[in-house]
């Protein structure tokens, strides 16, 4: 009998972390690897946020707090939801955890058990299916197509919902595809969801502020208020304010669910780091111009990376509307031969080739539930992106049998 719990048997190691490990190994061996696999902004946390944290420490923000967030941080989060999303949440309807990741984990562990299904559109953020499996539930995937900009259609959703569905996870802008939904598109999902009164929706809005569309950001509970009592709206400061290492995420949702999420957190990690809560409060209540500057920088990089990749034979890169990733198809590189006679038979093989031949670290799309694709993040400077494209181009030029018709 294994020492390890059966629930671990179906959990897969994160492909993002695996590629990061390989890239680090190559860097340690002295290679000049360009890392485009990470999921964090390269910008530094704005100074006023760091200052608030330093002052917080001086004032004694060094002790335990309430398990799921200080009253003043919850007040700042409630104000953010009201200001930016037109959503009203009381402190009892808000939970703060060590990143959006912990908040999502708490919600799934609190509600999902054997036989329960969680619907996840593909391509998806790698952690969703494994969190569902850790909760002993079943991820059910809803495929989307690059030709339709990776958008799930209401009829696709209708097809995968079942009496066993506990949750639908919506993530827009999405990691990895960058897909976003307009208010009208969300309303069309709401129409489907009204037919399934027992299905809850986890709306992961973590990339809310990294959005390039003219239309403003919309979230489900805002456009379908009648569904608000079965929606958990998840967000955080990691991506918006370049605060990945501070580990603060939060959610607004029905008080009964929020209470259970707090109970789980109370028996696992307790409160998120006190000083980080002070910093997150400063981020949410302070000047917001950083969001505009960051978005403009990301937009420029996105445009240059998409153009650079589309100039490479065998790659086809749609223009994402949000987040800081591109997700090109590498179908034209599948079946090609390398100079030493190996065949690239999968996106994982392509990614390994790009790492060893071009010294560019990326992540295979199959890890996000959709191959053959490659995910590249553009959380690096424009110069580095141009260098990465030139290297990828040179490596692809060495392949035999590249196709441009797929």
| Binding range to ligand PLP, per CB under 6 A, among 43-51, 94-102, 110-118, 329-337 | 94-102
Q: Least Å distance between CB 235 and ligand PLP? A: 8
Verify binding: residue 321, ligand PLP, rule CB under 6 A.
Answer: no
Q: Least Å distance between CB 255 and ligand PLP? A: 22
Using the rule CB under 6 A, which residue among 41, 69, 91, 249 binds ligand PLP?
249
Q: How far is CA 213 from CA 105, 163, 170, in A?
A: 30, 35, 18
Q: Least Å distance between CB 276 and ligand PLP? A: 11
Number of residues that bind ligand PLP (CB under 6 A): 13
| Binding range to ligand PLP, per CB under 6 A, among 4-12, 97-105, 259-267, 272-280 | 97-105
How far is the C-alpha of 314 from the C-alpha of 406, rounded, in Å? 8
Using the rule CB under 6 A, which residue among 81, 89, 105, 125 binds ligand PLP?
125
Residue 359 or 361 with smaller CB distance to ligand PLP: 361
Residue 70 or 238 with smaller CB distance to ligand PLP: 238
Verify binding: residue 80, ligand PLP, rule CB under 6 A.
Answer: no
Residue 60, Ramachandran bin (φ over 0: left; ψ between -120 and 50: alpha; else beta): left
- The 362-381 site mask, x for binding ligand PLP (CB under 6 A), equals --------------------
Using the rule CB under 6 A, which residue among 129, 137, 236, 272 binds ligand PLP?
236
Using the rule CB under 6 A, which residue among 244, 274, 276, 294 binds ligand PLP?
244
How far is the C-alpha of 71 from the C-alpha of 54, rounded, in Å? 20
Verify binding: residue 99, ligand PLP, rule CB under 6 A.
Answer: yes
360 within 8 A of 33, measured Cβ to Cβ: yes
The residue count of the chain comes to 406
Residue 98 or 344 with smaller CB distance to ligand PLP: 98
Q: How many other CB atoms are there within 10 angstroms of residue 58's CB atom?
A: 9
Q: Least Å distance between CB 126 and ligand PLP? A: 8
Verify binding: residue 101, ligand PLP, rule CB under 6 A.
Answer: yes
Q: How many other CB atoms are there within 10 angstroms of residue 61's CB atom?
A: 19
Q: Is 355 helix (H, G, I), strand (E, B) or coil?
A: helix
Task: Name every residue whose Cβ is closer than 8 Å to that of residue 155 and which is 6 or more positions away in sequence.
Answer: none
Residue 206 or 326 with smaller CB distance to ligand PLP: 206
Give the rounded distance of the alpha carbon of 375 from its chain centre: 12
Q: Least Å distance between CB 163 and ligand PLP? A: 27
SS3 of 210-235: the string is CECCCCCCCCHHHHCHHHHHHEEEEE
DSSP 74-85: HHHHHHHHHHHH
- The 22-51 site mask, x for binding ligand PLP (CB under 6 A), equals -----------------x------------
Verify binding: residue 175, ligand PLP, rule CB under 6 A.
Answer: yes
Verify binding: residue 238, ligand PLP, rule CB under 6 A.
Answer: yes
How far is the C-alpha of 173 from the C-alpha of 206, rounded, in Å? 8
The residue at minimum Cβ distance from ligand PLP is: 99
Cα–Cα–Cα angle for 329, 333, 339, rounded to 5 degrees? 150
Q: Least Å distance between CB 398 and ligand PLP? A: 33
How far is the C-alpha of 208 from the C-alpha of 211, rounded, in Å? 6
Residue 81 or 353 with smaller CB distance to ligand PLP: 81
Verify binding: residue 171, ligand PLP, rule CB under 6 A.
Answer: yes
How far is the C-alpha of 322 from the C-alpha of 187, rounded, in Å? 20
Q: By C-alpha distance, which of 166, 155, 23, 48 is closest to 107?
A: 166
Give the rounded distance of the alpha carbon of 97 from its chain centre: 16
Verify binding: residue 206, ligand PLP, rule CB under 6 A.
Answer: yes
- The contact set with ligand PLP (CB under 6 A) reads 39, 99-101, 125, 171, 175, 204, 206, 236, 238, 244, 249
């Amino acid at each position: 009998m294994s020492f390890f719990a059966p629930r671990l048997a179906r959990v897969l190691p994160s492909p993002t972390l695996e590629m990061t490990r390989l890239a680090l190994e190559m860097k340690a061996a002295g290679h000049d690897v360009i890392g485009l696999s990470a999921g964090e902004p390269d910008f530094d946390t704005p100074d006023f946020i760091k200052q608030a944290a330093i002052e917080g420490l001086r004032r004694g923000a060094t002790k335990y707090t309430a398990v799921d967030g200080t009253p003043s941080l919850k007040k700042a989060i409630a104000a953010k939801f009201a200001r930016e999303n037109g959503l009203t949440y009381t402190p009892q309807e808000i939970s703060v955890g060590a990143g959006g990741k912990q908040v999502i984990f708490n919600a799934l562990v609190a509600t999902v058990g054997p036989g329960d299904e969680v619907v996840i559109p593909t391509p998806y953020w790698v952690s969703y299916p494994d969190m569902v499996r850790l909760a002993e539930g079943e991820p059910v995937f809803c495929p989307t197509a690059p030709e339709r900009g990776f958008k799930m259609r209401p009829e696709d959703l209708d097809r995968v919902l079942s009496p066993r569905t506990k949750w639908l996870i919506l993530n827009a802008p999405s990691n990895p595809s960058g897909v976003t939904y307009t208010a009208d598109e969300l309303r069309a999902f709401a129409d489907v969801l009204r037919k399934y009164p027992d299905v809850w929706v986890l709306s992961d809005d973590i990339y809310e502020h990294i959005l390039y569309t003219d239309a403003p950001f919309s979230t489900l509970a805002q456009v379908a208020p009648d569904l608000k009592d079965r929606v958990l709206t998840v967000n955080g400061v990691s991506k918006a304010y370049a605060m990945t290492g501070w580990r603060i995420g939060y959610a607004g949702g029905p008080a009964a669910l929020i209470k259970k999420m707090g109970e789980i957190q109370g028996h696992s990690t307790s409160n998120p780091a006190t000083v980080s809560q002070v910093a997150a409060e400063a981020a949410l209540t302070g000047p917001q111009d950083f969001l505009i500057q960051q978005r403009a920088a990301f937009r420029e990089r996105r445009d240059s990376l998409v153009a650079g990749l589309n100039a490479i034979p065998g790659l086809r890169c749609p223009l994402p509307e949000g987040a800081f990733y591109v997700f090109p198809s590498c179908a034209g590189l599948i079946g090609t031969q390398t100079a030493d006679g190996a065949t690239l038979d999968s996106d994982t093989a392509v990614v390994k080739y790009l790492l060893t031949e071009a010294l560019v670290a990326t992540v295979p799309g199959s890890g996000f539930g959709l191959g053959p694709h490659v995910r590249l993040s553009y959380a690096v400077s424009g110069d580095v992106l141009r260098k990465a494209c030139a290297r990828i181009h040179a490596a692809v030029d060495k392949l035999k049998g590249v196709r441009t018709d797929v």
